[in-house]
A and B are shown apart, each in its own frame.
Chain A
Amino acid sequence: MRNLVQTFTHRWVHPWAAVACLALVLFGLPACKKTTLAPGGAYTDVTLYQTDKTITSSEALLHSFVSWELQNRTLLAQWPEIKKVADAVRGQAPGAIKAAIAARDAYANAKTAENANTLSITLTTLKALALQASVSMLGGT
């Protein structure tokens, strides 16, 4: 059991660093380097690349979270807050992702300030859900 706990503790700390980085990314601290696109790739607009990356990464994380909660529901019953967060994600994520995709497409078609603002708002909502799921998975609810 002691070894198990040590293993757990070791693994516990490292992902928290990932969550901390995620929080920094999600809530807008400036990146150390600006993203650029290698020529010849699928994207010519770096904003659309970053938007698509944010949408797909967030969906992957949210999907992992709700799957994990379902698979471990019995064990996790003593922390009802986790299921509460998972159900909130289940209720909000599909709409949030669809809204982000719609805003992304509107921005791709017309790069107006209004469309950029709508895109920013929808991505912020999605990122907040992803952050909430990350923290919940690591016992920080």
Chain B
Amino acid sequence: MSEEQIKQLLTAFTAAADLVEKLAPTIKELFEGGEATVADQKNVKDAMDRLRSSDAFSGPEWKVG
């Protein structure tokens, strides 16, 4: 494997790590519990409304193969 390929792989996995890291606050909140503020509740409701109203699985990323 060339150095360039290694760099590309590291970039790909760093991007993956970033994605999971981005979700860490949500995970932390789920685990720790506590009070869901009015803003928290609005964010969850808005996300749920978006999920219901959109065709969330129509993009090319959802195509098998």
Q: Which residues of A approach B to under 8 Å, CB–CB?
A: 1, 4-5, 7-8, 11-12, 14-15, 17-19, 21-22, 24-25, 31-38, 40-43, 46, 49-50, 52-57, 59-61, 63-70, 72, 75-76, 87, 90-91, 93-94, 97, 101, 134, 137-139
Contacts and interface: CB of A to CB of B under 8 A. Distances in A.
Interface of B: 3, 5-10, 12-21, 23-24, 26-28, 30-38, 40-42, 44-45, 47-48, 51-52, 56-57, 59-65
Contacts of B62: 66, 90, 93-94
B51 A61 contact: no
Interface of A is mostly: helix
Contacts, number: 163
Nearest to A89: B62
Given A21-B27, A53-B26, A36 B36 contact: yes
